[in-house]
A and B are shown apart, each in its own frame.
Chain A
Amino acid sequence: MIALMRRLLRRRKTRALAEAAIPDLEGRGSNPEERAEYLLRSHLSPDQLSEYDATKTFVAVGQITKLPYRIFPLKHHNILLRDRIPMCVTAVDRRQGVMSNMPIADHMLTHKLYIENAEENFLATVGWSARTALAIRYDLHEELSIGRFRQIYNF
């Protein structure tokens, strides 16, 4: 019995060592955050990537309006339209009816894909049309600089 247990433990240890030694052929990393970061980086344009490396934020240009949306590394409240107007949009898991618990880089990529490929859907979630976004009076809103945004959300 003891011999059997020892053999099982040895086998488990060998397997764990073998798994740890598996090379990361795609450079994607092994944990969800690393893989999400790899996926995000591989889908950023050169400009977005250099900005992301410098500030951990990047700008996505709207498919229809061509307006700039700055995306921050947060799961929600992470978008500033024209670096001024905060937009509160978050990805959800409809099966559970809660905010999606994807890694933050996946949230950022989700927002980028919506803005660049389905801006109408994106704007509709906050009750806007493309026309509204273009016509909005920026001077009627409190102006939030990026620095202020960073201060508020503490990242």
Chain B
Amino acid sequence: MRGVLIVKGKEGDMRTEFSNKHFARAEAEFNRLIGLGYLGSRMDTPTEGEAIKKFDSEAREIIMSPAIVAG
């Protein structure tokens, strides 16, 4: 099974592919971004997702969104 970690940034989205056996790089990136306050959304379908705080190697797609503040 293959999944993709999508990180939004000024250059557009950066994609890191992973599988349920090889996901160390994607997991490290996920944990780094969660530490920076990002929201991780595991997308179960293209339009429906769930917020996650722990990397899910079985996910089809995880979108990382930056932290938000009032203002």
Contact = CB atoms under 8 A, between A and B. Distances in A.
Interface of A: 31-36, 39, 42-45, 48, 76, 88-95, 100-103, 106, 109-111, 113-114, 116-118, 121-122, 125-127
B1 interface: no
Contacts of B70: 88-89, 125-127
Contacts of B63: 43, 109, 113
Interface string B1-41: 00000101111110000000000000000000000110101
| Interface SS of chain B | strand
A89 B13 contact: no
Interface of B: 6, 8-13, 36-37, 39, 41, 43, 46-51, 63, 65-71
A117 B51 contact: yes
A113 B12 contact: no
Given A45-B47, A91-B65, A36 B39 contact: no
B69 to A, nearest CB: 5
